[in-house]
């Protein structure tokens, strides 16, 4: 009996330490960052694991701030962000980091008003007013003016926002800076800002969780989080004065309007576009990779995956309401991926 | 013979090395915290502890709102937990039969064994809705004129954190208080009863008074636990960097801000500010612990023969 | 008369608090058991997590990951802790107790009060940054530090409780000093030390905060100990704050399993303690 016990213990220990417990020769590539594209990325990684069985992508959605921080600290193989790295951050990294755009998505204003199932119309003024703490009730005259046919409750608005460093926040505050002078001077834009109001949730998951669990709340989340959780979200008035429903088409319209002449480094903002049918709060999401890779195997697998993601992988975008990259853009991105050295 | 001595010496050296490793790890922890928070110290100095701006965009960091959150949530926890814990401790030391004692001590160890993250899970899905829908509106109805009960009831707020913490520290406070009470000599109790005191009067005079120091020690130990508690609080407190007197207002604590922001702090100064918060937590909890243990020790030892 | 009433009221309150705590435990455990059992499925034990927002999948990697993390932490912190305990006990029984041992005892006391999140950021700077990788190693480093004070102090106490006569008898028989300590004293103190180890293990099994920045989590199997690894408490945390109903269910199921494991360990430690007392 004792012998058997010893044998079992020995096998377990040796299997743990020989590092090959469950299968052989599978490369694990670790990434971290944005929660914004997490539904799409995890779909990709899940599907890609079926195509190439020798590689697993472990992606932790800790927020864009985290993606940037961990790629600077070199603790991950790739990062992901929806806010571009600042020059200061690139300097901290000490080596060249490529921004590879993977897809574009929309930040929506999702809300939870009990027994209410209509789509609200919001304007830049209302959104900035709510997040500056100036509009505090659902039946505020400003909201009423844009939604004359809707009966809004006399309840306080529970504002939800991110507690962590976030690219969704970057896109959202980028938008608020664009449309509100007061926001620009008082708060500014970034992956994390000093919020005037609001309940903080960790990740898009956290904010969606707060909205779902808290009556009379509103918050900004990436659209697929709103859809997967059956949250209602608002139409937003764009620059040309039209109320736009966030959708693959209206995000694509924003790309066409703002990224017509895509710069070589892909660092372009999509907020507050001119296009008539463009949704005003959308943005690209990028994967961050070191230009000079250290590990040959990891580099090869990573490049293969990135190429797959911006070509075949794009077919998964629309289902999750991310805008696929245009043909033109795909070519540019593939060129950029080919620049990765190892 | 020389061989034997050699083996003994070797063995003793091995234990010494092990002891030194333990020692080195703790010292290293301390040095690391100081070193990593250096940048923030040179930039903000002690002002850090009295400013409340926490703004990563303009790189201004102050910990006041987290200190406030930690202090208030922990005091709230004590307010709820202390009377109950003392009740339990008295029940165990003065009333319970041996069997009942055994039973309650199992209950306590079960309560103490629940991991923090599970308290958080329970807090999010059970406690918060109850608070939001029933308890907070009720409190507001009766005490709404007080600033502590104003504002929209969120459910994820200071009150939720206080309640969760109070449950978590009850086993600590009650089990140590029980030990302290039990160290009070029998004859003091008998003297009280012989003088014609009721049982409660006896407890008040003989037990509580004698054990006062030790009980305060137990409470401080509970306070230390509450201040250092991370996951459960992070999950229910709402994570807002603000100071508000209302208990219905979400807040953040020293520990919760590290849990939320450490992995994604993008600049060196930001990281350093978080380390400084870690160092603060380290010092506060250490001082509380040492003080508490001193108090408990001095009471329980007093009557030991 | 008034004194009698006050007496009755206070006695009633004291009894109530005893009942109250049982009630609180009951509603917490009750929820976990009810919600947990209704969410448990075979998949939970044998499948990896599914992509975000899709229903199904399990936590098998997190359950295994937690065991590996705890095993690894025990592997390094038990030898160091027990040997440190031997050192402390022996040096206090020798003629001139060293300053070093009282300093160490003090520091261990200090360490036992340090919040686990602080240990987490320490492990991040000391292990994760230099290794440039989140890893199981870093996670178990952090967990081991948390175990260290409990193990060392119980080892010391238990060794000190071994009657002097046993030690002297053994030495008088001409058995080496080190053999005496190792085979006689430690053997006698074993149940007590084991209890201490189990209590420490029960605690770190549920620790989440120190793993956030070290073990980091993994949605697949880890391939080596030098890579991020999933852990049950981490997974519960991630799922609890998510907005997905199916993940909430899995979080409850995970909580039930986690609490069962912790309780079994606590139960074992009590059993050992009772058996040898």
> Nearest CA to CA, how far is C241 from chain A (Å)?
5
List chains adjacent to chain A, taking adjacency as at least 3 C-beta pairs closer than 8 Å.
B, C
Q: How many residues does chain B have?
A: 305
Please answer yes or no on whether A212 and C243 come within 8 Å at the CB atom: yes
Residue C130 above 70 pLDDT?
Answer: yes
Place of tokens 């850090």: B48
Question: Which of A22, A30, A202 is facing C241, going by the closest CB pair?
Answer: A202
Under 8 Å between Cβ of B66 and B49: no
Q: How far apart are CA A74 and CA A68, in angstroms?
A: 10
Read off the tokens for B207: 């037990």
Which residues does chain A have within 8 Å of residue B253's beta carbon, measured at their own beta carbons? Answer: none
Closest CA to C63 of C264, C263, C253: C253
Characterize the bridge pairing of strands A217-222 and B60-61: unpaired
Q: Give percent above pLDDT 70 in chain A.
A: 93
Tokens of C227: 């890579």
* Coil vs helix vs strand at A156: strand
Q: Compare C54 and A252 and report the one with higher pLDDT.
A: A252
Q: Report percent pLDDT > 70 for chain B.
A: 98
Q: Which of A1-5, A282-286, C22-26, C266-270 has the lowest mean pLDDT?
A: A1-5
| Residue A290 confidence (pLDDT) above 70 | yes
Q: From C14, which residue of chain B is nearest by alpha-carbon distance?
A: B87
Q: How far apart are CA A238 and CA A244, in angstroms?
A: 7
B267 reaches A (C-beta below 8 A): yes
pLDDT at position A293 over 50: yes
Average pLDDT of the segment spanning C63-74 = 96
Q: Report the C-alpha gap between C73 and A117 in whole angstroms.
A: 52
Mean pLDDT of A45-64: 89
Distance of CA C240 to CAs B109, B112, C234, C258, Å?
25, 21, 10, 14
In B63-208, which residue ranges form alpha helices assigned H by DSSP? Answer: 64-90, 98-113, 116-122, 128-130, 136-143, 158-182, 186-194, 199-202
For residue range A70-114, list pLDDT tens digits in order.
Answer: 999 899 999 999 888 988 888 888 899 999 999 999 999 999 999
pLDDT digit string, tens, across residues B28-43: 999 999 999 999 999 9
Q: The domain that contains B220 carries what CATH number?
A: 1.10.3720.10
Residue B93 CA, chain-centre distance (Å), reads 24
Which residues on chain C are in Cβ contact (under 8 Å) with B7?
176, 178
Is B169 within the bounds of a domain? yes
CB contact under 8 A, A165 and B264: yes
Residue B4 confidence (pLDDT):
60
Q: In whole angstroms, what is the distance from residue C12 CA to residue A306 CA? A: 69
Segment B206-213 shows an average pLDDT of 90
> What's the mean pLDDT in C58-63?
94
Average pLDDT, chain A: 89
Q: What CA–CA distance (Å, rounded) separates A147 from A138?
A: 11
User: Which spans in A108-200 are helix H?
Assistant: 124-132, 141-146, 167-179, 181-186
Q: Would you call A188 helix, strand, or coil by DSSP?
A: coil
Q: Is the pLDDT of residue A20 over 60?
A: no
B265 assigned to some structural domain:
yes
C-alpha C106/C-alpha B114 separation (Å) is 28
Of the candidates B148, B144, B140, the one whose C-alpha atom is nearest the C-alpha of residue B246 is B148
HEC per residue, chain C: CHHHHHHHHHHHHHHHHHHHHHHHHHHHHHHHHHHHHHHCCHHHHHCCECCCCCCCECCHHHHHHHHHHHHHHHHHHHHHHHHHHHHHHHHHHCCCCCHHHHHHHHHHHHHHHCCHHHHHHHHHHHHHHHHCCCCHHHHHHHHHHHHHHHHHHHHHHHHHHCCHHHHHHHHHCCCCHHHHHHHHHHHHHHHHHHHHHHHHHHHHHCCCHHHCCCCECCCCCCCCCCCCECCHHHHHHHHHCCCCHHHHHHHHHHHHHHHHHHHHHHHHHHHHHHHHC
- The reply to whether the predicted model has a pTM over 0.80 is yes
Residue closest to A284 by CA, chosen among A310, A304, A313:
A310
The per-residue pLDDT for A250 is 94
From the list A150, A103, A166, A157, the residue with the least C-alpha distance to A130 is: A157
Lowest mean pLDDT across A288-297, B84-93, B237-246: B237-246
Share of chain C above pLDDT 90, in %: 71
Say if the Cβ atoms of B8 and C86 lie within 8 Å: no
Residue B2 scores a pLDDT above 60: no
Q: How many CB atoms lie within 10 A of CB A12?
A: 14
In chain A, residues with a C-beta closer than 8 Å to the C-beta of C69 are none
* Alpha-carbon distance C183 to nearest alpha carbon in chain B (angstroms): 13
Candidates A9, A16, A73, A232: best to mutate against C (most CBs of C within 10 A) is A16
**pLDDT recorded at residue A186:** 92
**Per-residue model confidence (pLDDT) at position C72:** 96
Distance from CA of B156 to the nearest CA of A (A): 9
Q: Domain locations in chain C?
A: 2-39, 46-275
- What local confidence, expressed as pLDDT, does residue C148 receive? 96
Confidence at B188, pLDDT banded by 50, 70, 90: confident
Lowest mean pLDDT among A1-10, A226-235, C215-224: A1-10
B103 located within any domain:
yes
- By the 8 A CB rule, do A75 and C133 touch? yes
Number of domains forming the structure of chain B: 1
Q: Which CATH class is domain C46-275?
A: mainly alpha
- Which residues of chain C lie closer than 8 angstroms to A19, CB-CB? 223-225
Quick one: pLDDT at residue A112? 94
Chain A residue with the nearest C-alpha to that of C133:
A75
Give the per-residue pLDDT at A231: 92
CB contact under 8 A, B260 and A200: yes
Q: CA dihedral in degrees (B154, B158, B160, B164; nearest 10)?
A: 160
ipTM: 0.94
* pLDDT value for B45: 92
Chain B interface disruption, residue of A35, A65, A68, A80, most B CBs within 10 A: A65
Domain encompassing residue B62 = 37-302
Which residues are within 8 A (CB) of A325 and not within 5 positions of it... i.e. 6 or more apart? A101, A102, A103, A104, A310, A314, A333
**What is the per-residue pLDDT for B1?**
43
Compute the Cα dihedral for B282, B288, B294, B300 and give only its sign: negative
A301 close to B (CB below 8 A): no
A167-225 residue pLDDT tens: 899 999 999 999 999 999 999 988 888 888 888 888 888 899 889 888 999 999 999 88
Handedness of CA B207, B211, B216, B221 (dihedral sign): negative
Set of chain C residues whose Cβ sits within 8 Å of the Cβ of A206 = 241-242
**What value does the mean pLDDT take over residues C66-91?**
95
The separation between CA B124 and the C-alpha centre of its own chain, rounded to angstroms, equals 20
């Amino acid at each position: 009996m004792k012998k058997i016990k010893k044998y079992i213990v020995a096998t377990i220990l040796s299997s743990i330490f020989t590092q090959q417990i469950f299968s052989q020769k599978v490369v694990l590539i670790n990434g971290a960052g944005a929660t914004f594209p997490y539904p799409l990325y995890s779909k990709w990684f899940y599907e890609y694991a079926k195509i190439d069985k020798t590689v697993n992508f472990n992606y932790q959605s800790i927020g864009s701030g985290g993606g940037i921080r961990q790629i600077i600290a070199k603790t991950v193989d790739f990062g992901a962000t929806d806010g571009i790295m600042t020059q200061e951050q690139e300097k901290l990294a000490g080596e060249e980091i490529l921004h590879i755009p993977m897809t574009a998505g929309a930040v929506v204003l999702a809300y939870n008003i009990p027994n209410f199932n209509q789509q609200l119309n919001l304007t830049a003024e209302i959104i900035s007013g709510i997040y500056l703490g100036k509009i505090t009730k659902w039946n505020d005259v400003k909201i009423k003016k844009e939604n004359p046919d809707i009966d809004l409750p006399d309840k306080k608005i529970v504002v939800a926002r991110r507690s962590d460093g976030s690219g969704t926040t970057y896109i959202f505050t980028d938008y608020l800076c664009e449309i509100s002078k007061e926001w620009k001077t008082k708060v500014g834009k970034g992956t994390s800002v000093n919020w005037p109001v609001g309940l903080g949730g960790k990740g898009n998951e956290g904010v969606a969780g707060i909205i779902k669990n808290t009556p009379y709340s509103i918050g900004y989340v990436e659209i697929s989080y709103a859809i997967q959780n059956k949250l209602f979200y608002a139409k937003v008035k764009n620059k040309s004065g039209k109320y736009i429903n966030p959708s693959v088409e209206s995000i694509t319209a924003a790309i066409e309007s703002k990224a017509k002449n895509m710069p070589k480094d892909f660092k372009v903002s999509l907020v507050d576009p001119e296009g008539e049918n463009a949704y005003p709060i959308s943005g690209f999401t990028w994967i961050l990779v070191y230009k000079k890779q250290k590990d040959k195997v990891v580099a090869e697998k990573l490049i293969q995956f990135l190429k797959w993601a911006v070509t075949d992988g794009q077919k998964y975008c629309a289902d999750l309401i991310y805008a696929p990259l245009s043909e033109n853009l795909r070519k540019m991105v593939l060129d950029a991926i080919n620049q990765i050295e190892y | 013979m020389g061989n034997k001595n050699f083996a003994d010496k070797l063995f003793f050296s091995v234990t010494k090395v092990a002891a030194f490793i333990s020692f080195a790890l703790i010292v290293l922890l301390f040095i690391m915290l100081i070193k990593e928070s250096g940048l923030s110290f040179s930039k903000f100095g002690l002002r850090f502890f009295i400013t409340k701006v926490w703004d990563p965009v303009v790189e201004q960091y102050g910990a006041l709102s987290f200190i406030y959150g930690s202090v208030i949530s922990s005091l709230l926890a004590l307010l709820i937990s202390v009377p109950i814990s003392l009740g339990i401790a008295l029940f165990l030391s003065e009333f319970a039969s041996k069997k009942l004692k055994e039973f309650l001590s199992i209950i306590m160890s079960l309560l103490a064994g629940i991991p923090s993250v599970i308290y958080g899970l329970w807090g999010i899905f059970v406690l918060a809705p109850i608070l939001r829908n029933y308890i907070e509106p009720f409190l507001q109805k009766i005490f709404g004129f007080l600033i502590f009960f104003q504002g929209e009831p969120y459910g994820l707020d200071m009150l939720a954190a206080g309640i969760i913490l109070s449950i978590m520290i009850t086993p600590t406070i009650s089990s140590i208080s029980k030990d302290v009470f039990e160290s009070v000599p029998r004859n003091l109790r008998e003297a009280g009863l012989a003088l014609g005191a009721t049982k409660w009067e006896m407890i008040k005079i003989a037990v509580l008074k004698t054990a006062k120091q030790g009980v305060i020690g137990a409470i401080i130990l509970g306070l230390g636990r509450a201040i250092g508690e991370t996951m459960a609080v992070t999950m229910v407190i709402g994570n807002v960097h603000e100071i508000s007197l209302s208990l219905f207002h979400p807040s953040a604590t020293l520990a919760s801000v590290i849990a939320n922001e450490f992995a994604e702090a993008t600049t060196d100064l930001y990281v350093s500010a978080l380390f400084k918060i870690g160092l603060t937590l380290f010092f506060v909890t250490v001082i509380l612990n040492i003080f508490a243990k001193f108090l408990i020790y001095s009471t329980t030892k007093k009557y030991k023969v | 008369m008034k004194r009698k009433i006050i007496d009755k009221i206070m006695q009633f309150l004291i009894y109530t608090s005893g009942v109250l705590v049982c009630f609180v435990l009951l509603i917490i455990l009750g929820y976990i058991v009810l919600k947990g059992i209704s969410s448990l499925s075979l998949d939970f034990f044998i499948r990896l997590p599914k992509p975000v927002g899709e229903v199904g999948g399990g936590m098998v990697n997190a359950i295994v990951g937690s065991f590996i993390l705890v095993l690894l932490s025990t592997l390094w912190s038990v030898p160091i802790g027990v040997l440190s305990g031997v050192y402390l006990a022996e040096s206090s029984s020798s003629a001139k107790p060293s300053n070093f041992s009282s300093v160490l005892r003090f520091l261990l006391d200090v360490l036992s009060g340090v919040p686990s999140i602080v240990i987490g950021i320490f492990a991040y700077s000391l292990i994760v940054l230099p290794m440039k990788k989140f890893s199981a190693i870093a996670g178990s480093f952090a967990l081991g530090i948390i175990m260290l004070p409990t193990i060392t102090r119980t080892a010391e106490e238990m060794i000190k409780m071994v009657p002097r006569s046993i030690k002297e008898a053994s030495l008088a028989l001409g058995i080496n000093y080190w053999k005496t300590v190792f085979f006689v004293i430690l053997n006698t103190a074993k149940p007590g030390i084991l209890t201490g180890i189990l209590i420490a293990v029960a605690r770190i099994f549920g620790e989440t905060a120190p793993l956030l920045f070290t073990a980091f989590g993994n949605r697949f199997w880890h391939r080596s100990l030098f890579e991020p690894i999933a852990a049950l408490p981490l997974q519960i945390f991630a799922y609890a704050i998510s907005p997905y109903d199916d993940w909430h269910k899995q979080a409850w199921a995970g909580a039930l399993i986690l609490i069962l494991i912790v309780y079994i360990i606590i139960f074992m430690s009590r059993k050992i303690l009772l058996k040898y007392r």
